[in-house]
């Protein structure tokens, strides 16, 4: 279920960004559609995704916040607070990548680094033997997200190839929102929300 949830977030955020890019191109202006409405759509999608992650996970662990380097120390947030945290992480990651792409025009390298890190994390937390050996929290089913992270990394390499001077393609809001939303939802699914702030920082 985690793979479907992350793919749904990626597609939804990509469609939001695509509509914004379409308006900018068709109107020949720097402003797309309303920022408030765009944020509302992102919050709505992130809320549904976090709720689905909670429904797919094992309770009560799924609604807790884990702290890196501490196996036995978890902060139990409960369903409502955890959904709020998930929304903040997913929307924040999506807009962080969008902002990064707007600043330097090449957000794909930080995204590839983060995807590589979370690919390893997803594989380890999804494997009970490795999780027990490394004393990290086991998240059943999260190992399949390593494949999604590998796909992000591979597509990022392809993007870099065609983005080399002279650049033939540009990411725009379509790509940056989709990639950021994917990373944020993966972080929520594998219970490493705080690590995203470290890796993405």
Q: Write down the pLDDT at residue 20.
A: 87
| Res. 200 pLDDT band, cuts 50 70 90 | confident
For residues 191 and 11, the answer to whether their CB atoms sit within 8 Å is: no
Q: What is the pLDDT of residues 63-113, one digit of tens each?
A: 888 888 777 788 888 889 999 999 999 999 999 988 887 655 578 888 999
Q: Give the pLDDT confidence score for residue 107 in this predicted structure.
A: 82
> For the residues of 23-39, what is the DSSP string, one character each?
HHHHHTSS--S-HHHHH
> What's the pLDDT tens digit per position in 170-198?
788 888 899 999 999 999 999 999 999 88
Give the separation between CA 96 and CA 111, rounded to whole angstroms: 11
- Look up residue 191 and give its two tokens: 């219970």
Residue 74, strand partner residues = 66
pLDDT of residue 185: 96
Most confident of 133-137, 146-150, 166-170: 146-150
176 closest CA partner among 68, 65, 32, 52: 32
Cα(21)–Cα(40) distance, rounded to whole angstroms? 17
In this predicted structure, what is the pLDDT of residue 60? 77
- Cα separation, 163 vs 159, whole angstroms: 6
Confidence at residue 83, expressed as pLDDT on a 0 to 100 scale:
93
pLDDT tens digits, one per residue of 8-53: 999 999 999 999 888 888 877 767 677 888 899 999 999 999 999 9
Q: What angle do CA 144, 47, 199 make, to 5 degrees?
A: 55
* pLDDT tens sequence across 110-132: 899 999 999 999 999 999 999 88
Distance separating alpha carbons of residues 66 and 68, to the nearest angstrom: 7
User: What does the pLDDT read at residue 105?
Assistant: 59
């Amino acid at each position: 279920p985690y793979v479907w949830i992350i793919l749904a977030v990626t597609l939804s955020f990509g469609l939001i960004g695509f509509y914004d890019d379409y308006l900018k191109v068709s109107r020949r202006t720097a402003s797309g559609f309303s920022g408030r409405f765009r944020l509302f759509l992102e919050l709505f999608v992130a809320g549904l995704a976090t709720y689905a992650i909670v429904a797919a996970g094992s309770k009560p662990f799924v609604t807790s916040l884990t702290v890196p380097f501490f196996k036995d120390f978890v902060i139990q947030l409960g369903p409502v607070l955890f959904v709020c945290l998930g929304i903040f992480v997913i929307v924040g990651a999506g807009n962080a990548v969008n902002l990064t792409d707007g600043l330097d025009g090449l957000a794909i390298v930080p995204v590839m680094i983060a995807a590589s890190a979370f690919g390893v994390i997803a594989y380890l937390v999804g494997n009970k033997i490795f999780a027990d050996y490394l004393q990290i929290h086991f998240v059943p089913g999260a190992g399949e997200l390593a494949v999604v992270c590998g796909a992000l990394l591979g597509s990022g390499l392809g993007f870099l190839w065609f983005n080399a001077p002279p650049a033939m393609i540009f990411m725009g809001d379509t790509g940056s929102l989709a990639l950021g939303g994917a990373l944020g939802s993966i972080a929520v699914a594998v219970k490493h929300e705080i690590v995203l702030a470290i890796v993405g920082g």
